[in-house]
Structure 1
Amino acid sequence: MKRVALFAAAIALLATPLRAAERAVSLPPPAYDPAPATPDARKLVVAGGCFWGVQGVFQHVKGVTRAVSGYAGGAKETAHYERVGRGDTGHAESVEITYDPGKVSLGELLRVYFSVAHDPTQLDRQGPDVGTQYRSAIFVADAEQEKMAREYIAQLSSAKAFPSPIVTRIERLGAFYPAEAYHQDYLVRHPDAPYIVFNDLPKIENLKRLYPAIYRGAPALTKN
């Protein structure tokens, strides 16, 4: 589906202003965002459409030390790009975010996720990409992550932060499988690709504009 989307994005780019591709929503911080008991590095796995853009956004968040594109929700045997692309594996294109809780909180990451990284009101799609592999989902690793995610969704829903209902799924994380090497740091390595220009670069600009306190210019790359 993404190959078709690449062509569609190239055509659309010729006729559509850049910022029309992504509309970010300024959101309040989570009311519930407790500090962790220990300062150890934490991980969060989220899905929100094509992993190129989601990875690119979180690579520009202060406190994020690593963001890896991959797959979550399905079996190890089907955690491959061509197979996941069929839309019947249970996998979603996902990003595993490793972060320093002393520099950025889980609540701040969730705020960026809902506000900038994707549109949480689109069911089983994001922009030109359609299928359950592009669903909006948070893969929670423990009860605390689940509590924070559910409470923030409830907070945003109560505040009617979006014109349509939030459809983000809360799923238990079984395992995260890194994607193929050519998908890593894709936004950074291919900034001129029509798909990236139209769908993803506006997300980086939205992050910088809406949350300058946690934006950083130099991305945290998976490869140096």
Structure 2
Amino acid sequence: MSDTQQATFGAGCFWGAEAYFREIEGVIDTRVGHATGTDGSTRPGRIEVVQVEFDPSVVSYAKLIDLFWLGHDPLSFDRQGEESGEGVRSAIFFHTTEQEEAAKSLRAAFNSTSPSPATTQIIQYEGLELADDKHQRYVEKNGHQACSVPSPASSTAS
């Protein structure tokens, strides 16, 4: 098995985002919490995120970002479904320079075919404050869907 990598995404409600990413082949583990970082000009504050540990020999970082676009509304500023506020904004936290370059390139590609530009911030990852145990794998533990995040299988059906 190759070395695993981390990816961190803000896609609104972290419960639904975690359930969404856990279904993707090559995702080894997930955890939810509030990430902090900087986008070079401001400190965006604490954003609800899912942090994904993945095997890049099975699923690429680029594929995870492609699924990220499909798993939430990247066109909505500080709003996902019923939730609003800067804590539920669309964000990609990068862990490496390569991830930063990929995220910026894939956002530009997304914007080139989108009716409106993504509001998604690309932020240098600084840290993660884990949510408590009851919030980890919440959907799995409670047997119901939370938030308005689709299944990756339905996102990739064409």
Superposition TM-score, scaled by structure 2 size: 0.88
Between Structure 1 and Structure 2, the one with more helix by share is 1
Name the amino acid aligned to 1:177: E
Give the Cα–Cα distance (whole angstroms) in 1 for the partners of residues 154 and 13 of structure 2.
22
For the pair shown, the structure with the greater C-alpha radius of gyration is 1
Give the Cα–Cα distance (whole angstroms) in 1 for the partners of residues 155 and 45 of structure 2.
33
Give the Cα–Cα distance (whole angstroms) in 2 for the partners of residues 151 and 164 of structure 1.
16
Where do residues 176-187 of structure 1 align in structure 2 (5 Å cutoff)? 176-187=128-139
What residue number does 1:36 align with? none
Give the Cα–Cα distance (whole angstroms) in 1 for the partners of residues 136 and 3 of structure 2.
25
Give the Cα–Cα distance (whole angstroms) in 2 for the partners of residues 172 and 126 of structure 1.
22
Unaligned runs of 5+ residues in structure 1 are 1-38, 75-88, 213-224
Is residue 156 of structure 2 the alignment partner of residue 211 of structure 1?
A: yes
Cα RMSD between the aligned structures?
1.9
Q: CA deviation at 1:72?
A: 0.4
Query: Residue 67 of structure 2 contacts residue 155 of structure 2 at CA under 8 Å; is this kept in 1?
Result: no
Between Structure 1 and Structure 2, the one with more strand by share is 2
Where do residues 132-171 of structure 1 align in structure 2 (5 Å cutoff)? 132-160=86-114, 163-171=115-123
What residue number does 1:18 align with? none
Percent of aligned positions that are identical:
32
Unaligned runs of 5+ residues in structure 2 are 38-43
What residue number does 1:92 align with? 47
Superposition TM-score, scaled by structure 1 size: 0.63
Q: CA deviation at 1:211?
A: 3.0
Name the amino acid aligned to 1:121: L
